[in-house]
């Protein structure tokens, strides 16, 4: 863990992809990991946003509270990153340094490109109600529909620091689709359990399902054997963290010190530079006469603007 704030981003697949994502779990869930990670790395390194290499962990979840299939990836990201030559730690300029709309578009493009590539290579299987997608025309129609909608990238409020991240990891990363405390009863072949209806403002409800349906929904979320559901990317990747984490820790005190505000509160700047966004400082004020006839400063230079 690094002594910086952490941010939390969730990448979600559109609902129409869920059925055949289940039929191609290993391939599509891996694509979800790689498309979301490549999106974060690409957008973060852009000088328009952060201009730095970031590191993060991603956790795959496939369920919602009612146990239906809903593949999504939670990404936990230290706020900031390393310059390309690893000589400096860059602090984010904004509370969240990656714009959501850009993340949506890049994520959609990368995932759909991977999906089309897998189809061309014959790696996708379509069964049952999805069998018609074997037809290239119907598959292309599906792809067009994916481009006509905004994909969901949810940016949660930032964590307060490393201790909150540890708390999150301890209680959240190794969950399964449901837990014992949500189960209420098993009577007459039916299972009753608590769930939150997020579509109705997180209202708490009770759902009762037949035992077969309850088991069917629960087993939707069993991952392929050996599938890794917690992965690390950027400077936190397994092959790089031993080298780069000490570099981050070494650079962070200097970056933090340089970003500290003065002890006395300063008023917000009246003008900001239209190029870099930094505060503009008044050096000298000129009278109307000086502006009309040219002003000479203390160094003898004449302003004739």
75 with 206, same domain? no
Are 86 and 198 members of one domain?
A: no
For the cut 70, the answer to whether the pLDDT of residue 299 exceeds it is: no
What backbone torsions phi and psi does residue 43 show, to the nearest 5 degrees? -70, -40
User: Are residues 136 and 186 both part of a single domain?
Assistant: no
In a domain, 66, yes or no: yes
Taking the alpha carbons at both ends of the chain, their separation in whole angstroms is: 54
Convert the pLDDT of each residue in 32-67 to its tens digit: 999 999 999 999 999 989 999 999 999 999 999 999
Span of 163-177, 197-211, 248-262 with lowest mean pLDDT: 248-262
Same domain, 115 and 199: no
Tell me what pLDDT residue 287 has.
Answer: 67
Contact between 236 and 44 under an 8 Å Cβ cutoff? The reply is: no
Residue 282 within a domain: no
**Judgement on whether residues 161 and 203 belong to the same structural domain of the protein:** no
- Residue 283 forms part of a structural domain: no
Contact 102, 26 (CB under 8 A): no
Domain that holds residue 244: 6-177+225-259
Cα dihedral 254/159/106/228 (nearest 10): 100
Beta-ladder partners of 129: none
* Rounded Cα–Cα distance for residues 266 and 269 (Å): 9
Judged on CB neighbours under 10 Å (0-12, 13-18, 19+), 138 is: middle
- Provide the number of structural domains found in the chain: 2
Q: What pLDDT is recorded for position 258?
A: 53
Whole-angstrom CA distances from 4 to 97, 252, 283 are 14, 9, 35
Is the domain of 85 the same as that of 195? no
Q: Is the pLDDT assigned to residue 298 strictly greater than 50?
A: no
Where do the DSSP E strands lie in 125-213? 153-159, 183-187, 190-197, 203-210
Instruction: Give the whole-angstrom CA distance, residue 51 versus residue 42.
Output: 10
Q: How far apart, in whole angstroms, are the C-alpha atoms of residue 113 and residue 145?
A: 14
pTM of the model: 0.79
Q: Indicate whether 215 and 237 sit together in one domain.
A: no
Same domain, 39 and 154: yes
Judge whether residue 269 has pLDDT over 70: no
E strands, the chain, are 6-12, 55-63, 69-78, 81-82, 89-90, 153-159, 183-187, 190-197, 203-210, 230-234, 295-296, 302-303
Average pLDDT in the 92-108 region? 87
> What confidence category does residue 262 fall into, taking pLDDT thresholds of 50, 70 and 90?
very low
Residues 126, 156 within the same domain: yes
In angstroms, the CA 275 to CA 277 distance is 6
Whether 72 is in a domain gets the answer yes
pLDDT above 50 (res 97): yes
User: What was the pLDDT predicted at 131?
Assistant: 92
Query: pLDDT band for position 276 (50/70/90)?
Result: low
Angle at 236 between CA 232 and CA 237, to 5 degrees: 55
Question: Where is average pLDDT lowest: 139-143, 148-152, 173-177?
Answer: 173-177
């Amino acid at each position: 863990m690094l002594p910086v704030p952490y941010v939390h981003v969730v990448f979600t697949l559109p609902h129409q992809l869920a059925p055949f994502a289940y039929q191609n779990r290993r391939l599509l869930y891996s694509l979800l990991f790689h498309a979301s990670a490549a999106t974060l790395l690409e957008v973060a390194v852009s000088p328009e946003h952060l201009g730095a290499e970031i590191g993060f962990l991603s956790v795959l979840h496939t369920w919602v509270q009612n146990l239906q299939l809903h593949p999504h990836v939670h990404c936990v990201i230290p706020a900031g990153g390393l310059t390309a030559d690893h000589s400096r730690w860059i602090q984010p300029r904004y509370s969240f340094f990656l714009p959501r709309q850009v993340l949506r578009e890049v994520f959609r493009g990368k995932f759909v490109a991977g999906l089309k590539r897998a189809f061309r290579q014959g790696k996708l299987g379509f069964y049952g109600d999805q069998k018609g997608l074997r037809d290239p025309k119907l598959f292309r129609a599906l792809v067009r529909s994916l481009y006509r909608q905004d994909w969901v990238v949810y940016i949660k409020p930032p964590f307060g620091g490393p201790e909150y991240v540890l708390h999150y990891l301890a209680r959240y990363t190794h969950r399964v689709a449901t837990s014992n405390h949500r189960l209420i009863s098993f009577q007459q072949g039916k299972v009753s359990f608590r769930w939150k209806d997020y579509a109705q403002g997180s209202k708490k409800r009770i759902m009762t399902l037949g035992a077969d349906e309850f088991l069917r929904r629960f087993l939707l979320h069993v991952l392929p054997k050996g599938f890794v559901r917690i992965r690390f990317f950027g400077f936190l990747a397994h092959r790089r963290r031993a080298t780069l984490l000490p570099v981050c820790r070494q650079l962070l005190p200097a970056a933090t010190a340089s970003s500290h505000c003065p002890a006395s509160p300063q008023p917000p700047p009246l003008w900001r530079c239209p190029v870099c966004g930094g505060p503009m400082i008044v050096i000298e004020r000129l009278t109307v006469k000086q502006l009309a006839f040219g002003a000479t400063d203390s160094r003898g230079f004449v302003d004739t603007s």
